[in-house]
Structure 1
Amino acid sequence: MTSVSSNTPRPSRLAREADVTFVFVHGVCTGASMWAPVQRELALLGHRSYAVDLPGHGLDAQYPAAYQAPQDLDAWAAEPSKLAGITLQDNIDMVVDVVRRVAEHGPVVLVGASLGGTTITGVGNTVPDLVDRLVYISGWSCVQRANPVEYMQEPEFGDNLLAPLAALNVGDPARLGVGRANYRTAEPDLLALLKESMMADGTDEQFRAFLNILQPDESLAVMTADARAHADTWGTIARTYIRLTEDRSLPVAMQDRLIAESDALTPDNPYDVHTLATSHVGFLLNPAEVAGILDRLTV
């Protein structure tokens, strides 16, 4: 009898069934709306999709009056955040519920960008039998370190541009339980650096349009929870990584480390790797490229 490794990938249903559903999970301070360009392109290719608003995001996001114009930064710094009590497990539970429901209709491809990678990893740890493929788009796929905050101390993260953006922070994160960023700042130097860190390949108008879909708060509990992948569950799912070589928020050197660690964890089930020469969210400006990669996963 031939023995089979516990992390040997399961045969995918994607090659046998056409009714694939792509489930999208957003990153930090965004929501389901960020995926609209990719979803439109997928629809033109005949695919259905569902974009999740994680707890406290989307229309449930918090935009206090003190965040509006004219801003009152002192008042806003003291404003309690309803995201303070949200955990990574809350995010995972929400997406697991979505996956359970869409899996009744066929194969599921679960896609996460940036911090959304920690959520889709948790879903893969929880219901590996319901996910046919995981796709990370410059996403945090943690193995050796517990969470993104720990990885940010590593040398591969050194090419990031986030440190000077601490000037955007409002309030005390330890007291608030969230990181709170003033994306409505009028400081030109900060705005230029923010653009360079996340959408250097876009125009100023495109960048400002993207800023207007961001919410200011993100839960510290989500960013610091143990988000490591488990070989015997997550490791059995086919997976794809889309590297973004011009990313200065999650540098490509760190992306490559995350890929290598995951492949070492499950050598019989390595990443299928694709590369786009774009910034952290610049892939949204050329959504047909991403949709094309996703489409080819289903044939």
Structure 2
Amino acid sequence: MQNSPTFILVHGAFANSFSFAPLQAELAIRGHRSAAVDLPGHGFEATFPAAYQAPQDLEALAAEPGNIKGVTLADNVARVVQVLERAKRNGPTILVAHSRGGITATAVANARPELIDRIVYVSAWCPVDLDVGDYYTQPEMANVDAGAFAATLIGNPAELGLLRTNFRTADPAALASFKRAFAADLTDDEFRTFLNTFQPDENLDVGTSADRAQSATWGRIPKTYVRLTGDASLPPAVQDRMIREADTLTPDNPFDVRTLEGSHLRWLVHPDSAAELLANLATH
């Protein structure tokens, strides 16, 4: 397996390496190595205050410090680079990013393109013409429902130095909003199970214009964008816009565009099609 690629998997906001367990199982069955990365402050480095448990104490939770405070995009990049350097000893690497993980993957590709043999965005942020925050002001994001995050935000992000969300809410309206945004095509049990893998805290740094895709580095890596047709949190129109912008930036190295049916999270809960797609990329 020396020349077989290793998939390096980068999670999205409030998520962790646990999200990829079903996908990794399917990749392993197909004979492929993979390593899921916990970005700094995620996974077993995350903070789960006692006030987050049941019964919840939301007032106390709003003041509890979190380990992810002060974590930067540069810290995320350093973590992924470290994993890529180790994996590269065993052969090619394919960097796979989901959702907010695409910001980190893009910055990694800008910094160390020689470590990546292919980069794959699965409905992931690939900022090219705008900073990530500015995409949210564009028409393509106009119908995204951010109500659940607004309703379940805990504390003041400026004071805490992080974003804190109460994913353990029992508010039916907030749960329904989360499900519409991320998992409309999952059962309620599948949705709640996934929601319970989320951590309450996320860092604030989403990068600057310097962290957008750079043609001289990121632009020389073969790249695939996997569109998710039912994604309501990062709609297909936004995905397609980033693909167009990237192809304009690097016309001699355009995205290889693939499409999967389903919501933002379905491919992680029912990963067979995604694993087959990735396995195909590994052998071509």
- Common fold, TM-score beyond 0.5? yes
Deviation at 1:243, TM superposition (A): 0.5
Correspondence for 1:122 among 107, 116, 121: 107
Superposition misfits of 4+ residues, deviation over 2 angstroms? 223-227
CA distance in 1, matches of 2:186, 2:208: 32
Does the 8 A contact of 2:22 with 2:271 survive in 1? yes
Partner of 1:14: none
Partner of 1:194: 178
Partner of 1:104: 89
Partner of 1:214: 198
CA distance in 2, matches of 1:224, 1:267: 24
Alpha-carbon displacement from aligned partner over 1:145-197 (angstroms, at most 9, x marks no partner)? 12x22211111111212245310101111211211110000111110111111
Q: Which residue identity lines up with residue 130 of structure 2 in the other structure?
A: R
Q: Summarize the alignment of residues 288-299 of structure 1 with structure 2, pairs less than 5 Å apart.
A: 288-299=272-283
Partner of 2:235: 251
Q: Which residue identity lines up with residue 81 of structure 1 in the other structure?
A: G
Deviation at 1:225, TM superposition (A): 4.0
Q: Does 1:87 align with 2:105?
A: no
Does the 8 A contact of 1:18 with 1:298 survive in 2? no
Does the 8 A contact of 2:226 with 2:260 survive in 1? yes
Q: Does 1:204 align with 2:188?
A: yes
Correspondence for 1:235 among 219, 233, 250: 219
Does the 8 A contact of 1:177 with 1:220 survive in 2? yes
CA distance in 2, matches of 1:209, 1:140: 25
Q: Does 1:267 align with 2:270?
A: no
CA distance in 2, matches of 1:56, 1:225: 21
CA distance in 1, matches of 2:149, 2:216: 39
Q: Summarize the alignment of residues 34-183 of structure 1 with structure 2, pairs less than 5 Å apart.
A: 34-146=19-131, 148-183=132-167
CA distance in 2, matches of 1:165, 1:58: 21
Question: Structure 1: which 5+ runs fail to align?
Answer: 1-16
Alpha-carbon displacement from aligned partner over 1:233-260 (angstroms, at most 9, x marks no partner)? 0000000001011111111110110111
Alpha-carbon displacement from aligned partner over 1:47-69 (angstroms, at most 9, x marks no partner)? 00000011010011100011111
Q: Which residue identity lines up with residue 63 of structure 2 in the other structure?
A: A
Once structures 1 and 2 are overlaid, which stretch shifts more, 103-112 or 151-160?
A: 151-160
CA distance in 1, matches of 2:269, 2:36: 18
Partner of 2:14: 29
Q: Which residue identity lines up with residue 114 of structure 1 in the other structure?
A: S
Cα root mean square deviation, aligned:
1.3
CA distance in 1, matches of 2:10, 2:164: 21
CA distance in 1, matches of 2:147, 2:239: 18
Does the 8 A contact of 1:149 with 1:224 survive in 2? no
Does the 8 A contact of 1:246 with 1:279 survive in 2? yes
CA distance in 2, matches of 1:170, 1:163: 14
Q: Which residue identity lines up with residue 183 of structure 2 in the other structure?
A: M
TM-score, with length taken from structure 1: 0.92
CA distance in 1, matches of 2:267, 2:192: 16
Deviation at 1:286, TM superposition (A): 2.1
Partner of 2:268: 284
| Secondary structure class of the residue paired with 1:297 | helix
Q: Which residue identity lines up with residue 75 of structure 1 in the other structure?
A: A
CA distance in 2, matches of 1:49, 1:98: 11
CA distance in 2, matches of 1:181, 1:31: 15
TM-score, with length taken from structure 2: 0.96
Question: Structure 2: which 5+ runs fail to align?
Answer: none
